[in-house]
Amino acid sequence: MHASSMNLPASHFLNRELGLIAFNRRVLAQAQDERVPLLERLFFLCIVSSNLDEFFEIRMAGLKEQIKGHSKTRTTDGLLPQEAYDQVSAAVHRLVADQYRELNNTLLPAAASEGIRFLRRSQWTDAQREWIRDYFFREVMPVLTPIGLDPSHPFPRIYNKSLNFIVELEGRDAFGRSSGIAIVQAPRVLPRIIRLPEALAPESAYSFIFLSSIVHAFVGELFSGMTVQGCYQFRVTRNSDLFVDEEEVKNLRAKIQGELPQRNFGDAVRLEVAENTSPAMIEFLLTQFGLEEKDLYRVEGPVNLVRLMQVPSWVDRPDLKFPTFVPGEVKRLEKGKNIFNVIRKGDVLLYHPYQRFTPVIQLLESAATDPQVVAIKMTVYRTGTDSVLMNSLIRAAQNGKEVTVVVELLARFDEETNVSWATKLEEVGAHVVYGVVGYKTHAKALLILRREEDERGTPMLRRYVHLGTGNYHPRTARLYTDFGLLTCNESIGMDVSEVFKQLTGLGRAQALHYLWQAPFTLSANMMKAIEGEKHAAEAGCKGRIVAKMNSLLEPQIIEALYAASQAGVEIDLIVRGVCALRPGVPGLSDNIKVRSVIGRFLEHTRVFYFYADGAENVYLSSADWMERNFFRRIELAFPILDARLKKRVITEGLKLYLADNEQSWDMDSNGVYTRRKHGRNKPHCAQQDMANLLGKTL
Angle at 499 between CA 602 and CA 371, to 5 degrees: 90
- CB-CB contact of 352 with 481 (8 Å): yes
Element (H, E) at 547: strand 544-549
Taking every pair of C-alpha atoms in the chain, what is the biggest distance, in angstroms?
A: 94
Q: Helices marked H in 290-400 — which ranges?
A: 311-314, 339-344, 358-369, 388-398
Burial class (CB in 10 A: 0-12, 13-18, 19+), 548: buried
Instruction: Provide the 10 A C-beta neighbour count for residue 353.
Output: 25
What's the rounded Cα separation, in Å, for the pair 120 and 212?
A: 10
What's the rounded Cα separation, in Å, for the pair 414 and 421?
A: 11
One DSSP character per residue, 643-683 reads HHHHHHIIIIIIIHHHS--SSEEEE-TTS-EEE---TTSPP
One DSSP character per residue, 453-490 reads E-TTS-EEEEEEEEEESS-S-TTGGGTEEEEEEEE--H
What's the rounded Cα separation, in Å, for the pair 32 and 53?
A: 20
Q: Helix, strand or coil for residue 205?
A: coil
Angle at 554 between CA 350 and CA 434, to 5 degrees: 60
What's the rounded Cα separation, in Å, for the pair 173 and 224?
A: 8
Instruction: Provide the 10 A C-beta neighbour count for residue 618.
Output: 23
Catalytic residues: 442
Question: What spatial distance separates the first Cα and last Cα of the chain, rounded to whole Å?
Answer: 52
Angle at 89 between CA 86 and CA 94, to 5 degrees: 130
Q: Helices marked H in 136-246 — which ranges?
A: 211-218
What's the rounded Cα separation, in Å, for the pair 390 and 472?
A: 9
Phi, psi of 637, rounded to the nearest 5 degrees: -125, 135
Element (H, E) at 690: helix 686-694
- Write b or e for each residue in 575-595: b if 16 or more Cβ atoms lie within 10 A of its Cβ, otherwise e: bbbbbbbbbbbeebbebbbbb
> Which residue type, as a one-letter code, is found at position 174?
A
Candidates 689, 485, 497; CA nearest to 600 is 689
Candidates 389, 344, 352, 335; CA nearest to 367 is 389
Element (H, E) at 688: helix 686-694
Distances (CA, A) of 485 to 347, 482, 660: 7, 10, 25
Q: Helices marked H in 224-278 — which ranges?
A: 252-259
What's the rounded Cα separation, in Å, for the pair 311 and 303?
A: 16
